[in-house]
Every structure is written in C-alpha cells, then in structure tokens.
Structure 1
Amino acid sequence: MKATKLFNLLTEIDTRLNRLEKSAISYREPLVRTNIKAQPFFALRDEVRRQLPKVDALREADVAGLERLIRGLQDFTIASPPLSKSPQRFDVSGFSNLVNGLRIGLSQLSPVEMLEAVPGQKTASFAFGFRNDMLTVIDQPLLLHPGEEDLARAALENAIEQGVYLNEDVGNSNASPRLKEGFARLQSALESRANIVQIGSRAQICNRLVNAELDELSGGQAGLMLGHIETVFRALAQFPQWRSFCENALSVDLDFPSVVTVAESAKALAIEVAKSGAVDPSVADALETVSEWATDKPNPDKRDVLSLVRTLENVWSAISKPLLSLGKEMVSQARKTVAVAVLGALIYTASQAIPIMGKVPGAEWVQTAYSYFKNMLPPANP
C-alpha cells in the first residue's frame, strides 16, 4: 500500500511537470536542456523519474532533495513571464502538498524500517546517552588514524601545557571576566579530552572574544591569546574527526533567521526537559550552549551552526533507538519513561525547526523520525 501511494504521488508530480512543459511550448518558450535557465525544470523531472522505479527505497533524504529542486523551479518560473502567466503555471502549493504526501507515506514505516533509518551519535559539541536510566551528556572519544597517534597526542598535550600558562597570565591581568571565563572553559575542554568539536567551539568563542576586546588588551596579551588559539587549532587539525567535521560544515547553507529558528527550538527543548525532571541538568545546559554559540553574531561560523544541528540530531538518535528497540531487546521501564518524556518535548518544540534541519546534508532523517513518531506514537502535550 505504501509503495503504491508513493508511486502515485511521484507520478502526479511528473504529470504536472509535463503540463508545465506543454504550456511553455504554447507560449513559444520551449524548455530545452541547452538553455541553462531551464536546468531546474529538467533536474526536477529527471530526479522524479529516477525515483519512480524504486519507490520502495525512497527515504526522507530523497524527499528533501525533491523539495530543494521544487524551490529552484519556482524561482525559474517566477522569472519567466510567459510561464508565470500561463494557466498551467508552476503551482508551488500544489507541489508542496504532493511532497507532504510523500512524507506522510514515509511515516508509515515499520519500527524496524524506522530503526534502520536512525543513525548513531554524530560528531558534535555534545552527544547524549543513558546513564543509570537517565539521559545525560556523554563523551565522544577522540579517534585517531593508525600512525597519527603520537603526533596528535603530542600536539594536544602542547596546547594543554600552553593553556595552563596562559590562564595563569590572564587570571592575573585586567582582562574582562568574560574573557577569563572563555579561556578557562577552553582549558577545561582541552584537559577533559572528551570531545574534539567542543574544544574547537570553545576556541572559536575565545577567538571572537579576543578580537572584540583588542582595544582593551596590550599587544603582548593579545598576541599570547591569539597564539594559544592558533596552537589549539593546529592540534585539532591532527584529528580526523575535526577535519571531517569542518569539511561537512562547508556544505551548510542556512541564513541567519533560519539558524535563529533552530536555536530557539533547542532553547525551548532545554526548558521543557528541565521542567520534566526526566534528564540530567547537563542536557539542558548543552542545548542552551550550542544555541548561544550559533547565534552570538549575525554571521555565525558554519561549524557552530552544524554543531547546533548535529547536537539536536544526537538527542533524536539517543531517544529514538530505545523506543524503537523495545520489541527486540530489554529496555528498562525507567528508560522508556524518560525517552517518552523527551520525545514529547521534541515533538512539542521542533515543528518550526524540522524543515530547516532537513536542509542540512545528513540531517534529513530527522523529518522522517518526526513524522513517524508524531503519527505513530503521539505523546501528550507537556
């Protein structure tokens, strides 16, 4: 039934595209592949026809891709006067309804299929797991490629030693309390050796703080601080997790209002889980922290934005797996209760952020999880 419904929806999209093509011909502006401006039309039609023979394998990432192509086609038709005036003009609401239908169809996955679609914890500033049946922040071990261990560890230890000296110097200076706290937190992250992205995020914060207060620092102080930050980033560059995370961040393309929307969702989630008393306080603190990092200036660092999205993904992953595994393995009733409580808070706070997160490569699966749980396991509103 599910495959038939998805096939019919994709077929309807293809039918509407054919009508649009015929309309263009009637207005003496045929859509041809050699016209670079018409590429959004052919990209969408080609993708729809590529998915038609394999609807059983359709996933949220594919639906999100279709959605992006539809937005591109909308921009093209608006700029094309004949098409914009045509009776068969591009109807973005109609196409959006069809895409939503695809998402609803995907929400009819079985628990096993949904479990397969949920990834494990991703590299981010914070990861989550259960300890004594309570959701809490957990470490993400620093991973090294064989042959790189000695160099990477030596670089990290050098940054830690330099940080001890720097924090002593900064602590005895007239630097602002905010600057002192920033470097103290960076040093704590370095010494914990628990999360490579969190170290990088703390270093980015320190860099922004120093540059914001350059006029109030002596040349020697500023040079010492910036030199330490550079040492930290050189150490991070030795770790494949950090290199991969930075590469992934380059593909993030969200405007600031969208980032603010996701950050507000994370802050709202922090408030809800704190009120529930179902999680360790570190969870709410983590959500508030990544929200602040991503919105402390109008043009946020893409690494901070990716960490915000990945941290939210990790919450979804942490609570989805025990809920979906209940029929296959023993999960304590206490853990189930916590997972359900956090799920309720996620559903309650995530509606505005979900479509935006789906634009970040790799995060499309969250839309599928949201639709699945909202339709199949609807929790009571907090």
Structure 2
Amino acid sequence: MATNLHTWTRVTCLDLQHLGQNIGNAALDGIKYWPESGEGRAVKAASERLFRLLEKTHDRSDLNYVFDNLDSVIAELKLVRENSYFKSHISSRIYKDRSGNRRTFKESLDSQIGGFDAFATVNRPKKVVSKAANEEPEGEFPLTPAAGDENSAQQLDEITPEQKAGPLQFEVRNSVLRIKKQPGRLNNEDKKSIIAARSALEENASSLAKLLSESNCDPRLIDVVKEVHDIIASGADVIRLGIVNFTCDYLFSRLSEEIPDVAAARFQGLNVAIGLYVAQFPEWHRFTENAAKAEIENEDIARTYDIGKAILPALRAARGLVDPEVPKSLELILEALKNPKLAGRRALFGVIRTLENLLAKIISEFANALWAVTEGARNGAKKATTVVVAGGLLLAVANTAANLSPTAERVIKATWLKQAADILRRGLKDAE
C-alpha cells in the first residue's frame, strides 16, 4: 500500500512536537544545573524554535513546504543531541512518547532523526523543474545538473563574500581545503622586539609541551599547547593565537588537578605573555574593537558552539577534499567558547567569523564544481565519488548556514547566509 504523505507528515509533526516539548520541560526541570556558558538555556531555546517551526506546518497542503520545515526541525534536534548539557543531564532520562513507549531521550532523538532521514530519502516528493526541450534526459548518476543549476551557481557567486580577518581563513590547494596562513603585520619600529618576543614564546611553549608530555595529563592539553607552539613558530595567524589561548586557559583551568605545579606555573607565564604579544599587532586591535561592538544575546554562545560542533563530522568525512587540520583547528577555536571567564564577545565573534569564512570558501570552491559535473565525471568512479562527497559536504554547509544565520546577522552583520542556504538546498534537491 502506498504511503499517504499527508498523513505521515501530520503524525510525524505531532510526534516531534511532543518530543520537543518534553525536552524543553526536562531542561527546565534542571534549571539550577544550567552552566553559565548557556548550554541548558540553548536546549530550552531549541525546543521553543522547534515548536514554532512545527506550528507552521499545521494545515499546510504543500508537501515540499512541510518537508523543508521538517528538515529545519531535524537540524534543531541534531544540535540538541550534540549539546553538552543534553548529554550530561537529559539524554539518559526516560521519555514516554505519544504511543506510551518508554525510551531514553537519546534513543528517542536517534529514532526520530534516523527515521525521518530514511523516510525522506525514499518518499520526499520531487520538486517540479522545467526542462528545456533539448536537455539531456536524466541518467543514473545521482548528481546530474538540473536546469536551474547554472542560475543557482551564479546567485551563490554574487552573494558569497570574500573571507575577512578572523581566527581562521581557508584556501584550496591541489583541490583540497586547507588552513590559510594570515601573516602578521609588523611596524618597523617594533619589529625587532616582536621577533624577540616570538622567539621566547616559541621556546616556552616547546618546553611546556615537553613537560606535559612527561606527565599523565589529558592529551588534549598537550595537543593545544603544541598548537600554540606551531602558531607562534609560523609568525602568522595572530587572531587565531589569541583565541586558541582562551581554549588553552580553559583546559588548564578545567584539568588543573592533573597538571604538575611546575607546568601550571609555566603556563600562567605563557598565557600572560601571549596576551601581551598579540596586543602588539594592529589586526588583533581591530578584531577586538569589532567584537566589542557586537550585539550578543545570552544563548548565542551555547548555540554557536553546537552549530560549529555539528559540522565537524562532515568535514572529517570529506576525505580527499578537506585537510584533517581544518576540523582539528576549528574544534580548538570552538573550545574557546567553553572558557567561563573569557567566552564573551571576542570568542563568540571569532568563532562566528571563522564559520563564515569556512562556509564562504567551501561554497565558492565546491558548489560550482559540483553543478558542473560532466559526462566524463559520471563515467569516472574516482571523480564521481569526489562529487558525491562534495554534495554531502555542501548539504552540511547549507544546514550550518541556515542555523547560524540569525546569530551571524546580528553579531557580525553577515546577511548572506540564509539566502545561500536556501539556494544550496534548492540546487542540491534539483540535482538529485
């Protein structure tokens, strides 16, 4: 018997509404345990956004509209699933669904997310795309360009901005997305003192990394200190160094009991010295001045952290297209938001700017290539696989852009993300 999509979507909306409401209630039940960095508030806010999205689907006969809205609901649930407060305080609690079944919240989330993705893949109604009379018939290759692809690519080219100064910028070399070095600008009168300071910092970071590697401390501490050392040694990426220093401070504070006293003392000196070092660069001053003007809200930090974490699996899975250093470096930048003392305007501004740069570079480099698939690519297994991987990465980029858009528009005045997400989603669906 054929599936009645209207019935299925109505039932699914009711199930998701019930689950979202109970997640919000569970978050409120533990309000006294909400971290200062906002993860508990973010879960509650997500449940409210989810409810509003589902309200819009009531009595809507346009199935494409309903499925698009459900896509956004599932994206919210995926963010909730990765939220640290949800994982620690809600995920293992028992949830009773509308049918009376009892499972943990995590199991229920996994079931709803997996169930929707599987069902939508097979049953989502295709959008009607007008085809020119002389257009080739569709083949078996899953990413054959559709009639609107050329317009989509042109629209993306027009709205996607150049990268701006931030903790990370990106480049594509040999068809692989990599971290792009941002050389620091030195004033001639300060050049000698800055070079001397950099040399001392490099030596101190190297000694601290060696000292930590000889202890039983958390490996993440060693990794972040090595990252600090490498950034200092490169003589570049001043903004990145300043933000990663926040991450370093957070991890040292959190894992202080594991750190030898000598290492802790050396870190405190290094932490202060890095702050003085980056303060000598005009790009750090411009960055902090822009961050000071940002309009932020209480839930922005936790929500942005969850959005950034959600794209990491797609970056790691895009083997051959994304250098492993990209998700590794992005994760260290994201961890700056966890610093209870410093996760304010500078860290938030830096993370959002980094995500904007990442999305802009991926879109500008890979969207056109994806939609320009030739007959030769269809016949080449390696090329076809690359295109499929790029399609998965672009879908993750579209979801990230849509989720980040409201905060990015307010904090860094990035008004292009929502439009880019809509164009990407439409283009990818048309190319199915």
- How would you bin the TM-score normalised by the shorter chain? 0.5 to 0.7
Residues 354, 366 of structure 1: 8 Å contact kept: yes
1:287-302 map, 5 Å: 287-295=330-338, 297=340, 300-302=343-345
**Cα 1:225–1:324 shift into 2, 3 Å:** closer
1:298 deviates by: 9.1
Match of 2:242 among 200, 213, 218: 200
Residue 316 (1) aligns with residue 359 (2): yes
Residues 201, 274 of structure 2: 8 Å contact kept: yes
**Cα 1:267–1:221 shift into 2, 3 Å:** closer
1:302 deviates by: 2.6
1:313 deviates by: 0.7
Output the CA distance in 2 between the equivalents of 1:234 and 1:217: 24
TM-score (norm 1): 0.58
Residue 347 (1) aligns with residue 390 (2): no
**Cα 1:381–1:264 shift into 2, 3 Å:** farther
Match of 1:352, SS state, is helix
1:138-287 map, 5 Å: 138-145=180-187, 147-172=189-214, 178-212=220-254, 221-277=263-319, 278-287=321-330
1:195 deviates by: 1.9
Output the CA distance in 2 between the equivalents of 1:355 and 1:162: 41
Residue 120 (1) aligns with residue 162 (2): yes
Which shows bigger deviation, 205-214 or 267-276? 205-214
Output the CA distance in 2 between the equivalents of 1:217 and 1:322: 43
CA RMSD, 1 decimal: 4.0
**Cα 1:110–1:148 shift into 2, 3 Å:** farther
Residues 301, 348 of structure 2: 8 Å contact kept: yes
Output the CA distance in 1 between the equivalents of 2:262 and 2:325: 37
**Cα 1:120–1:150 shift into 2, 3 Å:** farther
Residues 167, 239 of structure 2: 8 Å contact kept: yes
Output the CA distance in 2 between the equivalents of 1:246 and 1:322: 29
Output the CA distance in 2 between the equivalents of 1:219 and 1:135: 40
Residue 370 (1) aligns with residue 421 (2): yes
Residue 356 (1) aligns with residue 407 (2): yes
Output the CA distance in 1 between the equivalents of 2:209 and 2:294: 34
Alignment partner, residue 48 of structure 2 = none
Amino acid aligned to 1:193: G
1:13-162 map, 5 Å: 115=157, 117-145=159-187, 147-162=189-204
**Cα 1:112–1:347 shift into 2, 3 Å:** closer
1:318 deviates by: 0.8
Output the CA distance in 1 between the equivalents of 2:268 and 2:310: 35
**Cα 1:348–1:204 shift into 2, 3 Å:** closer
Output the CA distance in 2 between the equivalents of 1:110 and 1:247: 36
Amino acid aligned to 2:280: Q
Amino acid aligned to 1:348: N
Amino acid aligned to 1:151: S
Instruction: Report how many aligned residue pairs link the two structures.
Output: 272
1:338 deviates by: 6.7
Alignment partner, residue 142 of structure 2 = none
1:164 deviates by: 3.0
**Cα 1:174–1:248 shift into 2, 3 Å:** same
Output the CA distance in 2 between the equivalents of 1:216 and 1:319: 39
TM-score (norm 2): 0.52
Residues 167, 237 of structure 2: 8 Å contact kept: yes
**Cα 1:234–1:240 shift into 2, 3 Å:** same
**Cα 1:258–1:189 shift into 2, 3 Å:** same
Residues 128, 137 of structure 1: 8 Å contact kept: yes
Output the CA distance in 2 between the equivalents of 1:338 and 1:140: 28
Amino acid aligned to 1:317: A
Where do 5+ consecutive residues of structure 2 fail to align?
1-150, 370-375, 378-382
**Cα 1:336–1:127 shift into 2, 3 Å:** farther
1:117 deviates by: 4.1
Residues 118, 321 of structure 1: 8 Å contact kept: yes
Output the CA distance in 2 between the equivalents of 1:207 and 1:153: 24
**Cα 1:184–1:147 shift into 2, 3 Å:** same
Deviations 1:22-47 (A, max 9, x none): xxxxxxxxxxxxxxxxxxxxxxxxxx
1:116 deviates by: 5.0
Residues 247, 332 of structure 2: 8 Å contact kept: no
Match of 1:351, SS state, is helix
Deviations 1:208-243 (A, max 9, x none): 344445677677654432112111111111222222
Match of 2:411, SS state, is coil
Match of 1:279, SS state, is coil
Which shows bigger deviation, 263-272 or 178-187? 178-187
1:261 deviates by: 2.5
Amino acid aligned to 1:352: N
Output the CA distance in 1 between the equivalents of 2:313 and 2:343: 23
